[in-house]
A and B are shown apart, each in its own frame.
Chain A
């Protein structure tokens, strides 16, 4: 069967599955809409969390990032998994014990203040909207690429599919579709990885293959280092960035992960406190399957790509692939614009090297090379072209398409749910229109969801500034605002309302200002006050890593303000004591 038919079968089949689940898991109460009735098994919730968490960026872009960053990409590997330890040990069990529906609700009750709750809603929306823009763009790109439609059509097809199951089923529908989406995406990710590892190193386990030898006995990573340094690139396994920035960046991703509302609310769906602890562990098991495979995919794909182009000795006239003899996958991805070749020296051969390395560029010139001729190698092809480079059957390519779409859909749905429940539950029901009935609130939640989908679709089409890089920034925003306030709410009995509000405000404003200083106000290009280069950064800390500093400022300001204002009421101290003890978490707490 040809690839297009197979792709339609795989993608169509997976969509039919999601719709089936949507009809089966229709939400009848607000408890089901916000927290899936608190009846989700911890392993099932772990799987849903993994899909919720792993976005199109994790699925498509991360291995490519690792490919080109090498060791430095450990920031993402450790940062995006280490956060689950914090979530499991410090937040999830207590927030589950608290037993409400949203993150701002906890903040509002614990800090006995509607202003604190509204501040938390604002922080949640800033962080989640920043994140969702990247996801919606990812949906557009994935759908347009796999279904061969244009970006805008692809984007709205994707949003329409999310709308069906998110509006109907709320958290309940989203949970069960995410479980299906996890199964699709993980098989789509690991199947090609297994084959590539087998081809290159002879072992079917990519995690082992990464540290194994190739055919001639040289370790794979040593060979990769050799091949790329021969062409003037930096050594794969060497550290390139400053240690300080690496540490701050990793920490920012870790505490941002623990503070992202769409992940936290998943732990409200399990029946008990101990389920919340176990479920965080299961989530990491399912995430680790992909995250430990990704570095193998990244390194192996880079080696395959380099070997495909530099076929012989570096510098010899016939050491390079002739453009006329390029393989089919090369042609396919050239057609999409993700690969671009420009024959600068007119010899009909492809020279792919680092022409920014002055010493090497001088050598290359002596060979008649006139600059790097692979003028575009989009990092996304490291995953997308993988099955073709490894010459896997068409069904694997079709499976990768379904997997990429599943990853994009599941994260967008989770984020939209966090945003819409904050609007309908925290703003409408609890702050502005407390008199509405449960039925009306459920309707409001559905309308809020529809509105969030339309807004996200619009922003995905017209992203303010450059949206791709906003994903990493969303973590900084969650790290500087939500993580600290939750920590203080649980671990300090004395933290009061004014301290919490001042802390949250300081954290998010300082981080936003730092980001805007280097990236432009509201990401509008040209409005940045300083060039975004390490020399300009405060202590060498990049905007993506600033969430750590924002969090420190948040804690510091909160404690200073707390000491200057009136202490917490006694009943709040009792509430904190109660949160800390698992007993009495109640299966479903409606209010």
Chain B
């Protein structure tokens, strides 16, 4: 494999990971902590609201989705750049 391919593969990987980590940070530190009160006021339910839900349940579900998306997208990127394992 040429170095050029390697760089392209790595750049695609970094792009994907960056986006996923942005979502990761927004859902946990954003929705669950910093914006918690605002979200609770905006979408109240269950005696509290969306902010509390994100802090104790929602962020965990988002984490699960992020890893699933990562595994799936990376498999695609592996194939696109011809670096997939046999």
Contact = CB atoms under 8 A, between A and B. Distances in A.
Contacts of A237: 47-48, 52
B83 A581 contact: yes
A250 B28 contact: yes
Interface in A87-118: 88-90, 93
A577 B6 contact: yes
Nearest to B49: A237
A308 interface: no
B4 to A, nearest CB: 12
Residue with the highest number of chain A CB atoms closer than 10 Å, among B29, B56, B71 = B56
16 contacts: A74-B33, A81-B63, A84-B67, A88-B70, A89-B17, A89-B20, A89-B70, A212-B46, A222-B48, A243-B33, A246-B33, A277-B70, A277-B74, A280-B67, A292-B60, A295-B56
Contacts of B53: 211
A78 B57 CA distance: 9
A218 B55 contact: no
Contact of B61 (A220, A246, A288): A288
A581 B60 contact: no
Interface in A226-261: 237, 239, 243, 246-247, 250-251
B21 interface: yes
B47 A225 contact: yes
Interface in B1-37: 1, 3, 6, 9-10, 13, 17, 20-21, 24, 28-29, 32-34, 36
Contacts of B33: 74, 243, 246-247, 250
Interface string A122-165: 00000000000000000000000000000000000000000000
B55 A281 contact: no
A93 B48 CA distance: 39
A580 interface: yes
B39 interface: no
Contacts of B85: 272-274, 582-585
Contacts of A385: none
A237 B48 CA distance: 7
Most chain A CB within a 10 A radius of its CB, from B6, B75, B85: B85
Which of B9, B28, B32: most chain A CB closer than 10 A? B28
Given A85-B20, A583-B84, 6 more contacts: A71-B52, A88-B71, A225-B47, A237-B52, A295-B57, A582-B84
A274 B75 contact: yes
Interface string A284-296: 1100100110010
B64 A285 contact: yes
Nearest to B46: A211
Contact of B45 (A211, A281, A285): A211
A487 to B, nearest CB: 12
Contacts of A280: 67
B55 to A, nearest CB: 4
B46 A221 contact: yes
A223 interface: yes
Contacts of A210: 46, 56-57
Interface in A485-541: none
B58 to A, nearest CB: 10
A292 B48 CA distance: 17
Contact of A221 (B47, B60, B61): B47
B28 A78 contact: yes
A82 B59 contact: yes
A295 B59 CA distance: 13
A77 interface: yes
Contact of A247 (B29, B74, B78, B83): B29
Q: How large is the interface on A (under 10, 10 to 19, 20 to 34, 35 or more residues)?
A: 35 or more
B47 A81 contact: no
A220 B46 contact: yes
Contact of B24 (A82, A225, A584): A82
B74 A81 contact: no
Contact of A88 (B10, B47, B67): B67
B17 to A, nearest CB: 5
A85 B63 contact: yes
A205 to B, nearest CB: 11
A281 B70 CA distance: 9
A153 to B, nearest CB: 38
Contacts of A251: 29
A372 interface: no
B68 interface: yes
Contacts of B29: 247, 250-251
A284 B36 contact: no
A247 B28 CA distance: 10
A207 interface: yes
B33 to A, nearest CB: 6
A219 interface: yes
Contacts of B55: 71, 74, 77-78
B64 A281 contact: yes
The interface centre, meaning the residue of B20, B21, B59, B63 with most chain A CB atoms within 10 A of its CB, is B63
Contact of B48 (A89, A90, A221): A221
A443 interface: no
A239 B59 CA distance: 17
Contact of B56 (A77, A218, A284): A77
A220 B63 contact: no
Contacts of B52: 71, 221, 237
A281 B84 contact: no
Given A82-B59, A207-B57, A582-B84, A223 B32 contact: no
A231 B60 CA distance: 32
Nearest to B37: A239
